[in-house]
Amino acid sequence: MRIHVGKPVGDAWRRYQDHLEAVLAGPRPLARLLLVAFLAAITWWVYVPLHELAHAGACVSCGGEVRRMTLAPIYGGSVAARHFDWVDDDTPYAGQLADFSPGSDPCYFWLVLAPFVVTPLARPLLRRSARRRGAIPFVIGTVLALMPLASVPGDFYEASSIVVTRTVGSFLPDVSRLRSDDLVALVSRLAADGATRAEWGAVAGAAALALLAALALTGASIPPVPSPEAATGTRKGAETI
């Protein structure tokens, strides 16, 4: 059996390009593009701390404990650190749940993927942006839809590593050292420590699973651009922010 990922990925990319073209359509495409870029920066600045808080909230919701969450100063980490003793702004990452006890693997899996429960909202947001040429729903929908792909070496690898290590844990000396939210750093560490073939196989399997899951979620979150006939109740050519 062959698994063809090229066509679904290509189709999703073409659908996304259609949405971008719909938002930029009109007499001032460069101005619209600059607006989209500005809104994307603002949206990302707001999204990052909310993403990390979703991790923390999910951990607490299932009985876990959060002892340290890091957030870069540019995302408000310095301000948050002055008010919450469990927040630290000393981090090489945008944000990270750095010290926590999930209590169980199901809780661990839930807290890792909790920020992505809002990803399906990208579909109605992108549909609305195409109908109304709305830059705001387009940008928010873009961030939600593309975050799974951006998180392949991070959250999605971490979630996949939980599944893989639970499945083949009996063949591994220490499953905990294969679980990480930074795949690049993990590979460097394993190479320096001299990982076994079984460990490398588990990491490769988890990475492949993470990529496939992210591609599937992102692809499902980008709908086709509605046809003009489907845009009922909307003035033709209407432009909104």
pLDDT band at 176 (very low <50, low <70, confident <90, very high): confident
Averaged pLDDT for residues 161-171: 88
H or E element that contains 68: strand 65-71
pLDDT band at 236 (very low <50, low <70, confident <90, very high): very low
Mean pLDDT score across all residues of the chain: 90
Q: Count of alpha carbons within 13 Å of 156, Cβ hemisphere only?
A: 23
pLDDT of 72 strictly over 80:
yes
Beta bridge partners of 70: 88, 96
Task: Look at 174 and 121; give whichever has higher pLDDT.
Answer: 121
* Residue 103 three-state SS: coil
Q: How much is the pLDDT for 1?
A: 41
Global pTM exceeds 0.75: yes
Least confident of 49-58, 121-130, 172-181: 172-181
225 neighbors 15 (Cβ within 8 angstroms): yes
pLDDT of 119 strictly over 50:
yes
* Residue 163 three-state SS: helix
pLDDT band at 2 (very low <50, low <70, confident <90, very high): very low
pLDDT of 217 strictly over 90:
yes
pLDDT of 207 strictly over 60:
yes
Q: How much is the pLDDT for 168?
A: 86
pLDDT band at 170 (very low <50, low <70, confident <90, very high): confident
- Show the beta-strand stretches assigned E in 174-236: none
**Cross-sheet strand order for the sheet of 65-71:** 87-88, 65-71, 95-101
Q: How much is the pLDDT for 94?
A: 95
Averaged pLDDT for residues 155-162: 98
Rg (CA), the chain: 20
Averaged pLDDT for residues 140-169: 95
Averaged pLDDT for residues 131-136: 90
pLDDT band at 174 (very low <50, low <70, confident <90, very high): confident
Burial class from Cβ neighbours inside 10 Å (0-12, 13-18, 19+) for residue 133 reads buried
Least confident of 49-63, 64-78, 225-239: 225-239
d(CA 186, CA 201): 14
CB proximity list for 26: less than 8 A, separation 6 or greater: 32, 133, 237, 239
Q: How much is the pLDDT for 83?
A: 92
Least confident of 6-15, 188-197, 215-224: 6-15
Q: How much is the pLDDT for 21?
A: 93
Task: Look at 4 and 1; give whichever has higher pLDDT.
Answer: 4
Q: Exposure string (b/e) for 42-60, b if CB count within 10 Å is 16 or more?
A: ebeeebbbebbbbbbebbe
